Amino acid sequence: MSRSQKADQDLTKVLNQLWHLDKNRLRPGTDYRISLQGKAGYVAQGSNVARDQAKAPLFTYVNEDKLKSIKTYEYFISLLDNYEMSTGVSETVTSEELKENKLFIDAIVETDVMKCAHQYLVKKGKSPSDLGQFKRQLYDIWFRLYHRDRSGGEDSCGFEHVFVGEAKYGKEIMGLHNWVQFYLQEKHDNVDYKGYKARDNKDTPDEDDHVLNLQFSWKGLVKPVGGSFIGVSPEFEVALFTIIFLMSTEKMTSVVVKVDEYVLELVVCRHGQSIGTSYPKLLSSNNRDL
C-alpha cells in the first residue's frame, strides 16, 4: 500500500470517528426537513442567470429552539451576524466580536468531536497538546483576518468565507458552504435555492442526505454549484476541515474519503497559516455513483 493510500485510510478512520461522535447533528425529518424539488441546470461561471428548478425553499422546517438550546450552534449563529458581506470592505472587529469568536472556540473544544480531532492532531505532531495553545491555533486558522482582495484592507478570514459567504467585486459568490447560514439567509429572503446538482437522473439525492451539491442565488448573485453538509454541527465541520488543513502544507488539498455512506471529495485551500476556503463535494451516496 502506498503512503498516500495509508494516509487516506488513516484520515477516513478519524473522520468517521468524528461523524459518530457528532451528537449535535440534527436529524432529518425530525429536527429539520428539506425539499429538494428539481435538478438545477448548467450555469456558466460568472453568469447570474439561473433557471429556478425549485419554486419553494430548500428548508421547509428547522427546529430553531433546538438549535438555540445547543451552545455551539447558539454561539455560531451570533458569529454569522458579525461579518460584512463584501470582500474588500475592511472588517472592523469589535471587542464584543473578539469575545464571541473566543466563546465559540471555547464551546467547540469542549465537545467530543473536537476532543477527538485534538487528540488525533497531537498524535500526528500537528497541534500542541496544551488546550490554550490549541485554541490559539484554531483561532489563527479560522479567525485571523487577511487580505483576500489585494487592493483592500484585511477583509476576510476562513470562518467568514466558509461559513458566512462573501461577494467578490459584487459579482460572484465565494464560500457560503454552511447549512445554518443557508437556512437563515433563505428565511430572510436573501437566498433563493435553484435546485440540486447531480450528473444524471439516477443520482437524485434523498431528503435525508447529510451532504448535497446545490445551486442557489444569494442577494442576486448565482452560485452555479456549492457543496454543503446538511444538519451537521459547527464543531464537526471545524474539526474535519482543521484536520485536513493541518495534515497538508499544499496551497490546495483535495482528499477523497468515505464518511458514513457518503463518498466525498474534501477540498481545503490555504491562505498562509489560515484557511482560505474549504468545502465538501458529494461524489456518491448509498452506492449511487454521481
Q: How far apart are CA 260 and CA 24, in angstroms?
A: 16
**Residue 7: what are its φ and ψ, rounded to 5°?**
-65, -40
Is 202 one of the catalytic residues?
A: no
Q: What is the DSSP letter of 57?
A: -
Among the listed residues 203, 253, 205, 199, the one whose alpha carbon sits nearest the alpha carbon of residue 229: 205
What does the radius of gyration of the chain's CA atoms come to, in whole angstroms? 18
Is 161 one of the catalytic residues?
A: yes
Active-site hit among 118, 135, 161, 281 = 161
Active-site hit among 135, 177, 194, 197 = 177
Q: How far apart are CA 31 and CA 66, in angstroms?
A: 8
Q: How far is CA 279 from CA 63, 69, 154, 251, in A?
A: 24, 26, 22, 15
Q: Which three cell numbers stand for residue 196?
A: 440540486
Q: How far apart are CA 275 and CA 159, in angstroms?
A: 8
Is 223 one of the catalytic residues?
A: yes
Active-site hit among 39, 210, 223, 281 = 223
Q: Which active-site residues does the annotation give? A: 161, 177, 223
